[in-house]
Structure 1
Amino acid sequence: MSEEIISPPSRTPFISAANRWFKVAHALGLKQRNTLDREVLMEEVSNEAGLTDFGDPWFAKPYDALVDALREEARLNLSGEFVAEMQFRKVLTDRLNAQHWFDRHPEILERALPRPVIVVGPMRSGTTRMHRLLAADHRFQHLRSFETISPVPPQDFERGDEDDERVTTARKIQRMARLANPRTLNIHPTGPYEPEEELGLLVNSFWGMKHEAQWMVPSYGKWCEGEDARPAYRQLARLLKLVSWSQQKSSLKPWILKTPQYMLDLDAVLDTFPDARFVFTHRDPKAVVGSAASLAWNQTIIYSDHADAGAVGREWLRKTEQQIATMRRVRDRIDSSRIIDVHFEEMDRDWQGAMARVYRFLGMDMAPALSGMEDFMTRSRALKRKPHRYSLAEFGLDEGEVTERLSDYVETYGVRVEGRERRSA
């Protein structure tokens, strides 16, 4: 066993250099300071796009809650301010373009979303592996990474066009992410065409944990936990229909869906997809909390010079508790015939056996999908350049406290726990 990790990792020099450049550019008047003012950005992107309809105005509520938290808590550096404005502009532009597509092609919203298979579990509990294995089956539909980054095609997009500018955008963003902190793509390996979760479709409503994993905004997270998420999921469903239509896929093909945000919004998920089937993933909560804190830390340090490892650890312990508590409360609404539970170590030990059990639950033959799944497992090992190493101690957390606070979850679902603290995965 290697020596225990005491301090969390630091970011690369790239961001410090970028911050110095922004400081000089601001001082010389070469660049204005960034703004997140909603009315200003909406007017500017509307003028640029030549469109005025942003769709359901509900998004303004989470937008404003997020901006308040960014101003009061996140302590963004100059690079962080720049990235935040670019992200907000992009989401607003996507909303304009989405509404424009719906207005021009009303048949998009008439498409069905039948019987999706939804992977639900705490962040870092093996949801990505399960999602990507199922996505290897061509009998299902799935979102690709470039589509979660840019779910809305540009106005000049033609269906079947293989030269999609969104792929180029995804590659640029992923190159910048590797420069800013290569550990983020080691923790969650991806590529433009890799199957990816629907976080970007929730970000389209300024909703969800993607923001909390990127910036230290606990008040925004708590605000979301007290709000009705259904408007965000209505928009997610509309965007799924747009993606499927743009892919020229049959609307009869079930979707494979996954994001840990579903743990917090299970009521809204059930109302949006009333005939869904659910694969619940489980993992030792010590690994879940430590890995989630590490993921959030490695993003937060890019955008702020004042990240506090202890605060990150405490927030993701709280967040994990909240995910599990909400899931357990709402799960009772789902008929047991539509639920299967899969454990992380079961997948580690015998992924083919575990997936065979999932396919029996779905009433499908796994044989046609097996070669695609094996290809994914080979590809995932190539994508994951280095193992994800983390510990609870580096985030000021104690194994005993985490185990005690989540002991009821462990007992209820028969989750296997380990005694050692330092982990990979």
Structure 2
Amino acid sequence: MGIPNRPHPLARAKAADWAGRAVQALWDKGLTPKPPLEPEFLWEVASRGFDPQDETSLRSNAEVEDFRARLDQLCASLREDAALNAMGHAMAYGQLTSAIRKRHALGQVWRETPQLAQTAIAPPIIVAGQMRAGTTRMHRLLAADPQHAGTRFCNSHNPVPISPDWRPLKAGAALAIARRINPWLDALHPFGATRIDEEIGWLAGALSPATFEAQWHIPGFVGWSEARDPAPVYAEFARILRTDAATMGDADRPRVLKCPQFSEDLPALLAQFPDARLVVTRRDSAAVLDSSVSLVASQMAVQSDHGNLAGIEREWQRKLRLREQRLETALAEFRGLVAWVDFERLNADWPGEIAQTYAALDLPLTDAALAAMHREQSRAEHGSHTAHKTQLAQFAAS
């Protein structure tokens, strides 16, 4: 099925309106209570069935306290700032209870098999740079190399290892629902249940703002988080990565990691992986802003009836500037290998940009790697995300 016309950045599909009305009707008729976005209530619901020790397993007191503080601040900002509609309220409830539940489930795994979180892994390759600046393309090209490894979307969505592994089926079902609610989803970012994807789900599980600020207007939480040391988030991230590498059997291959949030938090990530190699993508700032605003507006439109395009643009001008400043500061202090990737050159000659990237990182570029990358590039060229360029042109014209 093709991508339908998107007349405005804040356009909302009929399916989203229908789902929102259905949720509101359930609450209005008393068929199910509207769940409060209160930390104590969310914790009681999501931790049910787990041992209290699952919250603390392998985690320091500071890490336990950080998660609780993040939950408090995020809930307060959702109540006070976000102006959520019924759909947004239900989605916030689902995401926060999921984060609490998965945190306990990981703690349970680590309490029973702590060695998983201590798995020795090859130094990773970290793709940093602004969102919409070619990070996904570089990430997937590098991860296509048989010498490297990448994180499946379903593993990012749910990092708790299970046997048999039903995560691809569950992630596929979740994506089907998401595409129904937002039919422009794949134009903004090409998804697949087992496709290599960014580790934003692992950050969301530790209540980093990355996934939440792209959905909700939550300036209280975002400002608080930006001023806070993200070290506890990346301590959890490192445990999840080591666990995932052990269970997927690829600990001996460099994992290619990617999330735009890394640009904001790079010192904390490098503290966990000091031997990492870096790939930094760059693109014209105006193009990055236009594409970022389009992505954020599409997600916010579903969850609030009070979307403000000018406000979204102002916030993401600020956010992109902050990430650029923090990335520059971190890179000035980094003494490892760095490859710089230009978005336009990547469009014009991706094999050439890959070749210079491998040379900068002192990595061997094999025929097998190039063949795998050609297959990945062919898949990308025929993907739905190419429709986003058309959408942006229509927005600019109107």
The normalised TM-score by structure 2 is 0.92
1:130: how far off?
0.3
Aligned length: 383
Alpha-carbon distance between aligned partners in 2 of 1:287 and 1:190, rounded to the nearest angstrom: 22
Alpha-carbon distance between aligned partners in 1 of 2:17 and 2:146, rounded to the nearest angstrom: 44
Q: In the alignment, residue 343 of structure 2 is paired with which amino acid?
A: F
Return closer, same or farther for 1:9/1:44 CA change in 2, 3 Å cut-off. Answer: closer
- Partner of 1:133 in structure 2? 141
Say if 2:339 and 2:361, in contact at 8 Å, map to a contact too.
no
Q: In the alignment, residue 167 of structure 1 is paired with which amino acid?
A: P
Say if 1:46 and 1:52, in contact at 8 Å, map to a contact too.
no
Say if 1:290 and 1:392, in contact at 8 Å, map to a contact too.
no
Answering whether residue 342 of structure 2 is matched by residue 343 of structure 1, we say yes
Say if 1:229 and 1:265, in contact at 8 Å, map to a contact too.
yes
1:62: how far off?
1.5
Deviations 1:45-74 (A, max 9, x none): 222345652234121122222111111111
Deviant stretches of 4+, over 6 Å = none
Return closer, same or farther for 1:392/1:289 CA change in 2, 3 Å cut-off. Answer: farther
Q: In the alignment, residue 12 of structure 1 is paired with which amino acid?
A: A
Secondary structure of the residue aligned to 2:352 is helix
- Partner of 1:360 in structure 2? 359
1:308: how far off?
0.7
Secondary structure of the residue aligned to 2:279 is strand
Alpha-carbon distance between aligned partners in 1 of 2:383 and 2:71, rounded to the nearest angstrom: 34
- Partner of 2:150 in structure 1? 142
Secondary structure of the residue aligned to 1:206 is coil
1:391: how far off?
4.8
Alpha-carbon distance between aligned partners in 2 of 1:317 and 1:393, rounded to the nearest angstrom: 21
Say if 1:108 and 1:245, in contact at 8 Å, map to a contact too.
yes
Say if 1:124 and 1:291, in contact at 8 Å, map to a contact too.
yes
Alpha-carbon distance between aligned partners in 2 of 1:266 and 1:290, rounded to the nearest angstrom: 24
Q: In the alignment, residue 358 of structure 2 is paired with which amino acid?
A: Y
Alpha-carbon distance between aligned partners in 1 of 2:102 and 2:19, rounded to the nearest angstrom: 27
- Partner of 2:78 in structure 1? 70
Secondary structure of the residue aligned to 1:278 is strand
Q: In the alignment, residue 180 of structure 2 is paired with which amino acid?
A: L
- Partner of 2:290 in structure 1? 290
- How large is the RMSD of aligned CA atoms in angstroms? 1.9
- Partner of 1:190 in structure 2? 191
Alpha-carbon distance between aligned partners in 1 of 2:136 and 2:238, rounded to the nearest angstrom: 20
Alpha-carbon distance between aligned partners in 1 of 2:24 and 2:44, rounded to the nearest angstrom: 27
Alpha-carbon distance between aligned partners in 2 of 1:385 and 1:301, rounded to the nearest angstrom: 19
Answering whether residue 274 of structure 2 is matched by residue 274 of structure 1, we say yes
Alpha-carbon distance between aligned partners in 2 of 1:174 and 1:280, rounded to the nearest angstrom: 29
- Partner of 1:315 in structure 2? 315
Q: In the alignment, residue 119 of structure 1 is paired with which amino acid?
A: V
Return closer, same or farther for 1:209/1:368 CA change in 2, 3 Å cut-off. Answer: same
Deviations 1:100-158 (A, max 9, x none): 111111211221233211011011110000000001012112111011111112xxx23
Alpha-carbon distance between aligned partners in 1 of 2:370 and 2:176, rounded to the nearest angstrom: 31
Alpha-carbon distance between aligned partners in 2 of 1:26 and 1:219, rounded to the nearest angstrom: 27
Alpha-carbon distance between aligned partners in 2 of 1:288 and 1:118, rounded to the nearest angstrom: 20
Say if 1:140 and 1:253, in contact at 8 Å, map to a contact too.
yes
Say if 2:118 and 2:243, in contact at 8 Å, map to a contact too.
no
Secondary structure of the residue aligned to 1:340 is strand
Return closer, same or farther for 1:7/1:107 CA change in 2, 3 Å cut-off. Answer: closer
Alpha-carbon distance between aligned partners in 2 of 1:385 and 1:223, rounded to the nearest angstrom: 33
Alignment of 1:36-51 (within 5 A): 36-49=37-50
Deviations 1:365-414 (A, max 9, x none): 322211111111111233326521455996xxxxxxxxxxxxxxxxxxxx
- Partner of 1:35 in structure 2? 36
Secondary structure of the residue aligned to 2:19 is helix
Secondary structure of the residue aligned to 1:254 is coil
Alpha-carbon distance between aligned partners in 2 of 1:65 and 1:138, rounded to the nearest angstrom: 42
- Partner of 1:215 in structure 2? 216
Answering whether residue 328 of structure 2 is matched by residue 328 of structure 1, we say yes
Return closer, same or farther for 1:253/1:386 CA change in 2, 3 Å cut-off. Answer: closer
1:182: how far off?
1.5
Answering whether residue 121 of structure 2 is matched by residue 113 of structure 1, we say yes
- Partner of 1:179 in structure 2? 180
Q: In the alignment, residue 218 of structure 1 is paired with which amino acid?
A: P
Alpha-carbon distance between aligned partners in 2 of 1:94 and 1:120, rounded to the nearest angstrom: 26
Q: In the alignment, residue 334 of structure 2 is paired with which amino acid?
A: I
Secondary structure of the residue aligned to 1:257 is strand
Secondary structure of the residue aligned to 1:280 is strand
Say if 2:149 and 2:255, in contact at 8 Å, map to a contact too.
yes
Alpha-carbon distance between aligned partners in 2 of 1:169 and 1:93, rounded to the nearest angstrom: 16
1:343: how far off?
0.4
Answering whether residue 213 of structure 2 is matched by residue 205 of structure 1, we say no
- Partner of 1:236 in structure 2? 237
Alignment of 1:155-170 (within 5 A): 157-158=162-163, 161=164, 164-170=165-171
Q: In the alignment, residue 137 of structure 2 is paired with which amino acid?
A: R
Say if 2:262 and 2:269, in contact at 8 Å, map to a contact too.
yes
Secondary structure of the residue aligned to 2:281 is strand
Alignment of 1:396-407 (within 5 A): none
Secondary structure of the residue aligned to 2:214 is helix
Return closer, same or farther for 1:9/1:303 CA change in 2, 3 Å cut-off. Answer: closer
**More displaced, 237-246 or 215-224?**
215-224
- Partner of 2:3 in structure 1? none
Alpha-carbon distance between aligned partners in 1 of 2:194 and 2:7, rounded to the nearest angstrom: 37
